[in-house]
Structure 1
Amino acid sequence: APKPHRGDWAVIAQEHPELWAGIIDIEPSEGTQQHYQEQSLMVLNQILRPEGENQIALRGGQAYVPRLIHQQQQSQSGSLPLQLKPDSTYLITGGLGSLGLKIAEWMVDKGARYLVLVGRSQPNPRASEIIGKLEEQGVMVVLEQVDVSQEAQVRDCLNRIQVSLPPLKGIIHGAGVLEDGVLLHQDWAKFAKVMKPKVEGAWNLHRLTQEMALDLFVLFSSATSILGTPGQGNYSAANGFLDSLSHYRKGQGANALSINWGPWAEMGLAAGVGKRMTMLGIEPIQSPQGLQILEQLLAQDVAQVGVLPVEWSTLKQRLPIELPLFLSEVITTETLPPQGDGENDNSGIFDQLLASTTTQREELLKDYLKQQIAKALGISREISGSSNLMDLGADSLMIVEVLNSCKKDLKITLYPREFYERPTITALAEYLALEMERLHQPQPTQTSLTTTSLSDIKNWANPWAWNNNSERNFTKPSQRNRSMVFLLCSPRSGSTLLRVMLAGHRDLFCPPELHLLPFDTMAERNQSLGSTHLGEGLARAFMEIMNLDAEASTTLVEEITEQDWSIQKVYGRLQVVQTCSASQ
Structure 2
Amino acid sequence: MRLKVATGGKGVDVVLNSLTDELLQASWDCIATAGTFVELGKKDILEGECLSMAPFNRNARFCGLDMSHDSISPALKYRLLQDVFGLLKEGHIRPEISRVYGFQDAEAAFRHLGTGDSIGKIVVSRFMTCVIRQAAPRLSLRYDASYLIVGGLKGLCGSLAVYLAQEGAKTLVILSRSGYDDERSRFIISKVTSLGCRLDLVKGDVTNEADVERAFTEASTPIVGVVQGAMVLRDKLYSSMTRTEFEDAIMPKVQGTWNLHHVSLRLNITLDFFTLLSSLCGIVGQKGQSNYAAANAFLDSFAHYRKSLGLAACSVDLGLIEDVGYVDGKESLSRRLLSQGWHPINEKLLSKILYFSILQQRSPAVNSSSSAQLITGMPVPLPEQSPAQRDPRFSALRLASGVGAQRGAFRSSDAQSGANILREAWKAQDAEVDQSELLNTLFGFANKQFMKSLGMAEEMDTARPIASYGIDSLVAVEFKNWTSMDLWVEIATLDIVGAKTLTSLCQVILKRGFQSRGKM
Specify the TM-score bucket, using the shorter chain as the normaliser: 0.5 to 0.7
Aligned residue identity for 1:187: T
Indicate the SS of the match to 1:166: coil
Q: What residue is the counterpart of 1:134 in the other structure?
A: 192
Q: What residue is the counterpart of 1:306 in the other structure?
A: 375
Residue-pair matches, total: 364
Is the 2:275–2:315 contact (alpha carbons within 8 Å) kept by the matching residues of 1?
Answer: yes
| Aligned equivalent of 2:448, options 354, 359, 371 | 371
1:539-578 correspondence to structure 2 within 5 Å: none
1:349 matches 2:418: yes
Aligned residue identity for 1:237: A
Aligned residue identity for 2:287: P
> 1: distance between equivalents of 2:461 and 2:166?
54
Q: What is the CA-CA distance between 1:386 and the residue it aligns to?
A: 4.7
Aligned residue identity for 1:129: F
Is the 2:142–2:169 contact (alpha carbons within 8 Å) kept by the matching residues of 1?
Answer: yes
1:182 matches 2:237: yes
> 2: distance between equivalents of 1:401 and 1:187?
21
Q: What residue is the counterpart of 2:392 in the other structure?
A: 325
Structure 1, unmatched stretches of 5+, are 1-74, 443-505, 507-584
> 2: distance between equivalents of 1:371 and 1:255?
46
Residues 422-473 of structure 1 deviation map (CA, whole Å, 9 limit, x = unaligned): 454233322322343355659xxxxxxxxxxxxxxxxxxxxxxxxxxxxxxx
| Aligned equivalent of 2:261, options 173, 196, 206 | 206
Is the 2:145–2:222 contact (alpha carbons within 8 Å) kept by the matching residues of 1?
Answer: yes
Indicate the SS of the match to 1:230: coil
User: Using a 3 Å threshold, how does the CA distance of structure 1 residues 88 and 183 change in structure 2: closer, same or farther?
Assistant: same
Residues 75-106 of structure 1 deviation map (CA, whole Å, 9 limit, x = unaligned): 98344222111111000011312211111111
| Aligned equivalent of 2:222, options 167, 170, 176 | 167
Is the 1:115–1:141 contact (alpha carbons within 8 Å) kept by the matching residues of 2?
Answer: yes
> 1: distance between equivalents of 2:308 and 2:382?
35
1:247 matches 2:316: no
> 1: distance between equivalents of 2:381 and 2:495?
32
> 2: distance between equivalents of 1:217 and 1:76?
29
TM-score of the aligned structures, taking structure 1 as reference length = 0.57
> 2: distance between equivalents of 1:116 and 1:361?
63
Is the 2:274–2:314 contact (alpha carbons within 8 Å) kept by the matching residues of 1?
Answer: yes
User: Using a 3 Å threshold, how does the CA distance of structure 1 residues 77 and 181 change in structure 2: closer, same or farther?
Assistant: farther
Q: What is the CA-CA distance between 1:313 and the residue it aligns to?
A: 4.2
Percent identity, please.
Answer: 29
Is the 2:336–2:452 contact (alpha carbons within 8 Å) kept by the matching residues of 1?
Answer: no
> 2: distance between equivalents of 1:311 and 1:394?
30
| Aligned equivalent of 2:291, options 231, 234, 240 | 234
| Aligned equivalent of 2:496, options 408, 413, 419 | 419
TM-score of the aligned structures, taking structure 2 as reference length = 0.64
Q: What residue is the counterpart of 2:97 in the other structure?
A: none
Is the 2:153–2:188 contact (alpha carbons within 8 Å) kept by the matching residues of 1?
Answer: no
Q: What residue is the counterpart of 1:30 in the other structure?
A: none
Is the 1:250–1:303 contact (alpha carbons within 8 Å) kept by the matching residues of 2?
Answer: yes
Is the 1:362–1:430 contact (alpha carbons within 8 Å) kept by the matching residues of 2?
Answer: yes
Q: What is the CA-CA distance between 1:108 and the residue it aligns to?
A: 1.3
1:403 matches 2:471: no
Is the 2:166–2:195 contact (alpha carbons within 8 Å) kept by the matching residues of 1?
Answer: no
User: Using a 3 Å threshold, how does the CA distance of structure 1 residues 435 and 76 change in structure 2: closer, same or farther?
Assistant: farther
User: Using a 3 Å threshold, how does the CA distance of structure 1 residues 441 and 142 change in structure 2: closer, same or farther?
Assistant: closer
1:54-203 correspondence to structure 2 within 5 Å: 77-123=134-180, 124-161=182-219, 165-203=220-258
Q: What residue is the counterpart of 1:452 in the other structure?
A: none
User: Using a 3 Å threshold, how does the CA distance of structure 1 residues 294 and 120 change in structure 2: closer, same or farther?
Assistant: same
User: Using a 3 Å threshold, how does the CA distance of structure 1 residues 192 and 283 change in structure 2: closer, same or farther?
Assistant: same
> 2: distance between equivalents of 1:202 and 1:287?
24
> 2: distance between equivalents of 1:441 and 1:292?
53
> 2: distance between equivalents of 1:152 and 1:402?
46
Q: Which has the larger radius of gyration?
A: 2
> 1: distance between equivalents of 2:518 and 2:253?
50
User: Using a 3 Å threshold, how does the CA distance of structure 1 residues 340 and 261 change in structure 2: closer, same or farther?
Assistant: same
State the Cα RMSD in Å: 2.8
Q: What residue is the counterpart of 2:321 in the other structure?
A: 264
Once the two structures are overlaid, the 10-residue window that deviates more, 127-136 or 186-195, is 127-136
1:477-492 correspondence to structure 2 within 5 Å: none
Aligned residue identity for 1:293: I
Is the 1:199–1:238 contact (alpha carbons within 8 Å) kept by the matching residues of 2?
Answer: yes
Indicate the SS of the match to 1:122: coil
> 2: distance between equivalents of 1:155 and 1:173?
15
Is the 1:281–1:311 contact (alpha carbons within 8 Å) kept by the matching residues of 2?
Answer: no
Residues 474-508 of structure 1 deviation map (CA, whole Å, 9 limit, x = unaligned): xxxxxxxxxxxxxxxxxxxxxxxxxxxxxxxx9xx
Q: What is the CA-CA distance between 1:226 and the residue it aligns to?
A: 0.6
User: Using a 3 Å threshold, how does the CA distance of structure 1 residues 102 and 435 change in structure 2: closer, same or farther?
Assistant: same
> 1: distance between equivalents of 2:462 and 2:162?
51
Is the 2:307–2:313 contact (alpha carbons within 8 Å) kept by the matching residues of 1?
Answer: yes
